[in-house]
Amino acid sequence: MSQSWKPLPDDLSEPARRLAEELRAVKDAHRISLAELGKRTYLSKASWERWLNGKRLITPQALAGLIAAVECDAALLISLLRQAEAEREEGATEPAADLVPKPEPEPVPVPVPLPGLPVETPALPVEQLPSVEVPLVEAPLVPAAELPTGIPMARVAAAIAAAAAVLVLVAGLWLRGPQGGGSAAAAIPPTATASEPAPLCQGVGCAGKDPQAMGCETDDHTLLKGNVGQVVLYMHYSPRCRAAWAGITDGSPGDSATISTNTGWQETALIHWGYDNYSVMVDASPGDTTLRVCGHQKGGDGCTGVVTDPAARAAAAPLPVPPTVATTPTSRAG
């Protein structure tokens, strides 16, 4: 569905402006809403709103997801993104529309270069790093009151890891594609982890600290995701930092998501304004760590399942699956 677009920011570079206009044209041509665009690419509609309105420069992974999801001029879009990223790096000392710090930054992980771009790029502050969103593991929410407190999860974790390993192998073959062919998404090379800066904290040293400021978002794995009505809860984990945090999107002021561990540590992401936020981190380094995220919204409360051994879950790196409908959240009195 086409729409009346807001004017793009005046301080956008010419390639970034053209890229935003082309992305808008793709959305209008396919007559799809932001919500539908988010479902097809496994990214939030909040992120697409920022990219389409020039508030942030679209990430390489998000662009690859769009190219794989809808028919569009992949070569043109990739070329414009390369040009926009090059101009952003050249003008890194000057304010740019997509580098202005936001009070509510979106939680995003590993930067992935497009074909032809060098792997090693000039070092930027963590909050300015280009980023992508990690494929999600969907899990239905269960009412908080019904969550078990002592379920042995070793067999479940082992089964998940085994199934995920098969999916990763299939994904690798698909992404590699035929020689000389394949989609634009398949042409994007994997990130060279050797060029990533070291995180500023690990384990208990990360407790209570911002994952973006500490460099922990560069390898963010979303271990679980679920809905309470329209509100989306996330369980994030960084293998390099051995720490975890909660995220919440599509909410409203007053909504929150709290991550807790089996040691009793809790941190909360509260939406003060807008529609999303993320919490500071909890220590997830002990081998017996278990994690859970619970949401508190006007429409009711709900929790994700419990994750045991988050390091093994992240190493499995499962592919995204279509969203599932969560169970009805527990209604709150009044």
Tokens of 309: 């051994």
Indicate the pLDDT class of residue 167, thresholds 50, 70 and 90.
low
Q: Is the pTM of this model over 0.75?
A: no
Do 13 and 85 contact (CB within 8 A), yes or no? no
CA distance 256 to 285: 25
**pLDDT tens-place string over residues 71-107:** 999 999 999 999 999 988 887 655 444 444 455 555 5
**pLDDT tens-place string over residues 44-63:** 888 899 999 999 999 998 89
User: What mean pLDDT is predicted for residues 105-123?
Assistant: 50
- 61 is a domain residue: yes
Specify the pLDDT at position 242: 92
SS3 letters for the chain? CCCCCCCCCCCCCHHHHHHHHHHHHHHHHHCCCHHHHHHHHCCCHHHHHHHHCCCCCCCHHHHHHHHHHCCCCHHHHHHHHHHHHHHHHHCCCCCCCCCCCCCCCCCCCCCCCCCCCCCCCCCCCHHHCCCCCCCCCECCCECHHHCCCCCCCHHHHHHHHHHHHHHHHHHHHHHHCCCCCCCHHHHCCCCCHHHCCCCCCCHHHHCCCCCCCCCHHHHCEEEEEEEECCEEEEEEEECCCCEEEEEEECCCCCCEEEEEECCCCEEEEECCCCCCEECCCEECCCCCCEEEEEEEECCEEEECCCEECHHHHHHHCCCCCCCCCCCCCECCCC
Whether residue 217 is found in the same domain as residue 280: yes
Specify the pLDDT at position 196: 63
- 196 is a domain residue: yes
**pLDDT tens-place string over residues 185-229:** 333 333 334 456 788 899 999 999 999 889 898 889 999 888 888
Residue 122 CA: distances (Å) to CA of 98, 196, 254, 275, 289 = 17, 11, 39, 32, 36
Domain count, the chain: 2
User: What mean pLDDT is predicted for residues 114-126?
Assistant: 48
- 189 is a domain residue: yes
**pLDDT tens-place string over residues 57-80:** 999 988 998 998 899 999 999 999
Specify the pLDDT at position 78: 94
Instruction: Tell me the average pLDDT of the chain.
Output: 74
Whether residue 159 is found in the same domain as residue 291: yes
Residue 162 has pLDDT above 60, yes or no: no
Whichever domain contains 100, its CATH number is 1.10.260.40
Whether residue 190 is found in the same domain as residue 89: no
- 50 is in which domain, residue-wise? 14-128
One-letter amino acid at 331 equals S
Whether residue 187 is found in the same domain as residue 296: yes
**pLDDT tens-place string over residues 252-305:** 898 999 999 998 889 999 998 788 999 999 999 998 999 999 998 887 888 988
Specify the pLDDT at position 82: 93
Whether residue 166 is found in the same domain as residue 299: yes
CA distance 22 to 31: 14
User: What mean pLDDT is predicted for residues 146-165?
Assistant: 54
- 323 is a domain residue: no
- 170 is a domain residue: yes
Whether residue 274 is found in the same domain as residue 156: yes
Whether residue 198 is found in the same domain as residue 303: yes
Whether residue 102 is found in the same domain as residue 148: no
> Strand pairing partners for 303?
142, 294
Indicate the pLDDT class of residue 168, thresholds 50, 70 and 90.
low
Whether residue 197 is found in the same domain as residue 75: no
- 281 is a domain residue: yes
**pLDDT tens-place string over residues 15-49:** 999 999 999 999 899 898 888 888 888 888 888 99
Whether residue 97 is found in the same domain as residue 161: no
Whether residue 149 is found in the same domain as residue 107: no
Indicate the pLDDT class of residue 114, thresholds 50, 70 and 90.
low
- The listed range with the strongest mean pLDDT (88-97, 145-154, 164-173, 265-274) is 265-274
CA distance 203 to 241: 6
Pairing assessment for the beta strands 266-270 and 277-278 based on DSSP bridges: unpaired
User: What mean pLDDT is predicted for residues 5-18?
Assistant: 91
Whether residue 170 is found in the same domain as residue 118: no
